[in-house]
A and B are shown apart, each in its own frame.
Chain A
Amino acid sequence: MARTAANGSLKTHLNQNGLKLEDVNKTHKREKNGPGTGVASRQYKQESFEQAPMYVAVMTYLGYGIVTLFGYLRDFLRAVELERCHVAQEKEEQKDFVPLYQDFENFYTRNLYMRVRDNWNRPICSLPGPVFDLMERVSDDYNWTFRLTGRTIHNVINTGSYNYLGFAENSADFLKTVADVTCQYGVGVCSTRQEIGNLGIHEELDKLVANFLGVESSMTFGMGFATNSMNIPALVGKGCLILSDELNHTSLILGARLSGATIRVFKHNNMLSLEKMLREAVCSGQPRTHRPWRKILIMVEGIYSMEGSVVRLSEIIALKKKYKAYLYLDEAHSIGAVGPSGRGVTELFDVDPADVDVMMGTFTKSFGAAGGYIAGKKELVDYLRSHSHSAAYGTAMSPPVTQQIIRAMKCIMGNDGTTEGIRRVRQLAENIRYFRARLKEMGYIIYGSDDSPVVPVLLYMPGKVAAFAREMLERKVGVVVVGFPATPIAEARARFCLSASHTREMLNQVLHHLNEVGDNLCLKISQQKYSSQPDLYNEANFEPDS
């Protein structure tokens, strides 16, 4: 049968994958001996952002055009009262003022999003682990209102949660310390860190995070988004320059705008664009007065969650040292998920953590908790303890959440005496490699680097976005599809987040269903042939004298 043949060829491929894992370890060992070679071998890794064939782009725009035309028709029917209007409308007295609901965003929400919104905000009634239970809901009036039928769909495979290391679990023996801490401290802190909410467990977590990352000191906050948006204003202000990547997260953009600094955007992961901007900034200075900038801060992320691409850390550090700028690295998705022992992109690129001025990350993704941290030199963290808005006004992290992070981090570092943590990190790396390789073999267009646990599968057409989500749910696989405001309008995608708690059987099931759905929907449009032989650059590193 075709499946066993595929599995047969996969076995050899997996052996090569197994070899590949050791190869990577070998190159890492050699990187430690020679600081230069490590940087160079990482840079050769190409990230693929394959362009779709022309007919796909044409059909995407055709689809959007037809739905937009019908959107205008429905708006017209709603305006002449032939159809009941379900959305907010202005009152009669307000009709002479500036219209409120006529911009493109509201048009898009009314006429495109509402038609297919049963694919988002699905109610889950169990732990979001590797499998979860969904509550079934139906709509009688084309998604304007929903009702729950009362039935639960059990054991839907979860490919949407950021559960990279599988710490979203509820087994009693793993959570024993969390239960003890809840009994000791309670659940609410009822104060900020600066007032009376600085518990001993928070200090313990700060020290542990600093130890984990290999930096001098760190500070943790109760909310990951607020870590970015409230601390960037404390670090930069008017007269400073922020160079931020094109695809940065909203929290970084919000923090940058709140700070009042000048913001310039460079093309995604494009070092030439960044260098040009740095040169221009250092030469010309501030816009009108030509005074030198007080600070130049480069803001990048470790892994970009919509593309799955990894930052080019070594090149950015070289640029930063050359032009004397500062680096702010947001490792929300990469901490715990990349690197041979889960330390993030600094370990992946074999870079000294002291070279990154501000390391930021969140505990939401790989640690199964909530909150964020900022780490770096002691002077930086001491300054933030007194000047950050989040420290002064944000409630401190809740004790059970803090203990969950402590136990997860100790597990990853191996301090709890088991090899569970390192097993999970390796399992995640293996899952990533396997899943990406199989998807490329099947012929899907996938973005991003081969190390990232985020796998975006491009769908392009709006009809296919809705059909993909519904068909996968029928086959009991829960996927997250993303459309216009979060992605460019012609590049809608389905985003798979792999987890260390996905077993090989689960991944095979997901891939089997993906195969079927891909054939039903004609999604396998990649034109690059994927060969299952090891890449040439790996073999080039085996020269005996290098």
Chain B
Amino acid sequence: MALGDYWKQLSWFYYQYLLVTALYMLEPWERTVFNSLLISVAGMAVYTGYVFMPQHIMAILHYFEVVQ
């Protein structure tokens, strides 16, 4: 079943993420703290990009005189 395969692959990636960042050694609540910090920082970055990217792109195009 394709969904089961995807789930296996995803959990393998999560396992690699735990090993590389050494979260594998930490207790569950510490993992929760770290993951929420990471997701909130990443979420803030994505939101900022979403809000400000059109303005930045317009400024770049204006600089290169592609658009007035």
Quick check: which of A126-134, A147-155, A187-195, A461-469 contacts chain B, the rest being far away?
A461-469
Pick from A59, A62, A116, A521: contact of B25, CB below 8 A. A116
B24-68 residues at the A interface, CB under 8 angstroms: 24-27, 30, 34
Judged by a CB distance under 8 angstroms, whether A234 is at the interface is no
Pick from A64, A66, A73, A142: contact of B23, CB below 8 A. A66
A522-B15 Cα distance, complex, nearest whole Å: 11
Please tell me if the beta carbons of B26 and A467 are within 8 angstroms of each other in the complex.
Answer: no
Please tell me if the beta carbons of B22 and A63 are within 8 angstroms of each other in the complex.
Answer: yes
A463 neighbours in B (Cβ, 8 Å): 18-25
Chain B residue nearest in CB terms to A466: B25
Judged by a CB distance under 8 angstroms, whether B16 is at the interface is yes
Please tell me if the beta carbons of A466 and B27 are within 8 angstroms of each other in the complex.
Answer: no
A73 neighbours in B (Cβ, 8 Å): 30
Judged by a CB distance under 8 angstroms, whether A176 is at the interface is no
B21 neighbours in A (Cβ, 8 Å): 62-63, 66, 463
Judged by a CB distance under 8 angstroms, whether A115 is at the interface is yes
A522-B16 Cα distance, complex, nearest whole Å: 8
Task: Pick from B22, B24, B26 the residue with the most CB of A within 10 Å.
Answer: B22
B12 neighbours in A (Cβ, 8 Å): 520
A63-B26 Cα distance, complex, nearest whole Å: 11
A115 neighbours in B (Cβ, 8 Å): 25-27
A427-469 residues at the B interface, CB under 8 angstroms: 461-464, 466-467
A33-78 residues at the B interface, CB under 8 angstroms: 59, 62-64, 66-67, 70, 73
Judged by a CB distance under 8 angstroms, whether A325 is at the interface is no
A62-B21 Cα distance, complex, nearest whole Å: 6
A112 to chain B, nearest CB (A): 7
A73-B27 Cα distance, complex, nearest whole Å: 13
A67 neighbours in B (Cβ, 8 Å): 22, 25-26
Please tell me if the beta carbons of B16 and A142 are within 8 angstroms of each other in the complex.
Answer: no
A116-B24 Cα distance, complex, nearest whole Å: 10
Chain B residue nearest in CB terms to A64: B22
A446 to chain B, nearest CB (A): 20
Please tell me if the beta carbons of A467 and B24 are within 8 angstroms of each other in the complex.
Answer: yes
A351 to chain B, nearest CB (A): 45
A83-121 residues at the B interface, CB under 8 angstroms: 112, 115-116
Please tell me if the beta carbons of A142 and B27 are within 8 angstroms of each other in the complex.
Answer: yes
Q: How many cross-chain pairs have Cβ atoms below 8 Å apart between A and B?
A: 48
Please tell me if the beta carbons of A59 and B27 are within 8 angstroms of each other in the complex.
Answer: no
Please tell me if the beta carbons of A112 and B25 are within 8 angstroms of each other in the complex.
Answer: yes
A520 neighbours in B (Cβ, 8 Å): 12, 15
Please tell me if the beta carbons of B26 and A59 are within 8 angstroms of each other in the complex.
Answer: no
A466-B18 Cα distance, complex, nearest whole Å: 12
Pick from B15, B20, B24, B26: contact of A70, CB below 8 A. B26
Please tell me if the beta carbons of A461 and B27 are within 8 angstroms of each other in the complex.
Answer: no
A73-B24 Cα distance, complex, nearest whole Å: 17
A522 neighbours in B (Cβ, 8 Å): 16, 19
B20 neighbours in A (Cβ, 8 Å): 59, 62-63, 461, 463
A462 neighbours in B (Cβ, 8 Å): 22, 25
A59 neighbours in B (Cβ, 8 Å): 20
Please tell me if the beta carbons of B26 and A521 are within 8 angstroms of each other in the complex.
Answer: no
A63-B34 Cα distance, complex, nearest whole Å: 12
B30 neighbours in A (Cβ, 8 Å): 70, 73
B3-19 residues at the A interface, CB under 8 angstroms: 12, 15-16, 18-19
A466-B15 Cα distance, complex, nearest whole Å: 13
A464 neighbours in B (Cβ, 8 Å): 19
Pick from A64, A112, A466: contact of B24, CB below 8 A. A466
Please tell me if the beta carbons of A66 and B22 are within 8 angstroms of each other in the complex.
Answer: yes
A467-B24 Cα distance, complex, nearest whole Å: 8
B24 neighbours in A (Cβ, 8 Å): 463, 466-467
B23 neighbours in A (Cβ, 8 Å): 66, 463
B7 to chain A, nearest CB (A): 16
Please tell me if the beta carbons of A66 and B34 are within 8 angstroms of each other in the complex.
Answer: yes
A521 neighbours in B (Cβ, 8 Å): 19
A66-B18 Cα distance, complex, nearest whole Å: 11
A73-B31 Cα distance, complex, nearest whole Å: 13
B12 to chain A, nearest CB (A): 8
A161 to chain B, nearest CB (A): 27
A64-B30 Cα distance, complex, nearest whole Å: 15
B34 neighbours in A (Cβ, 8 Å): 66, 70
B25 neighbours in A (Cβ, 8 Å): 67, 112, 115-116, 462-463, 466
A142-B30 Cα distance, complex, nearest whole Å: 13
A522-B12 Cα distance, complex, nearest whole Å: 11
A462-B12 Cα distance, complex, nearest whole Å: 18
A440-B10 Cα distance, complex, nearest whole Å: 29
Chain B residue nearest in CB terms to A462: B22
A521 to chain B, nearest CB (A): 6
A467-B15 Cα distance, complex, nearest whole Å: 10
A64-B24 Cα distance, complex, nearest whole Å: 12
A63-B22 Cα distance, complex, nearest whole Å: 5
A464-B18 Cα distance, complex, nearest whole Å: 9
A540 to chain B, nearest CB (A): 44
A62 neighbours in B (Cβ, 8 Å): 20-22
Given contacts A70-B26, A70-B30, A466-B24, 7 further A-B contacts (CB under 8 A): A63-B20, A64-B22, A66-B22, A461-B20, A462-B25, A520-B15, A521-B19
Which residues of B are in contact with A by a Cβ distance under 8 Å? Answer: 12, 15-16, 18-27, 30, 34
A sample of 11 inter-chain contacts (CB < 8 A) reads A62-B22, A63-B20, A73-B30, A112-B25, A461-B19, A461-B22, A463-B20, A464-B19, A467-B19, A520-B12, A522-B16
Closest 9 interchain pairs by CB?
A: A63-B22, A463-B24, A463-B19, A463-B22, A115-B25, A67-B22, A59-B20, A462-B22, A464-B19
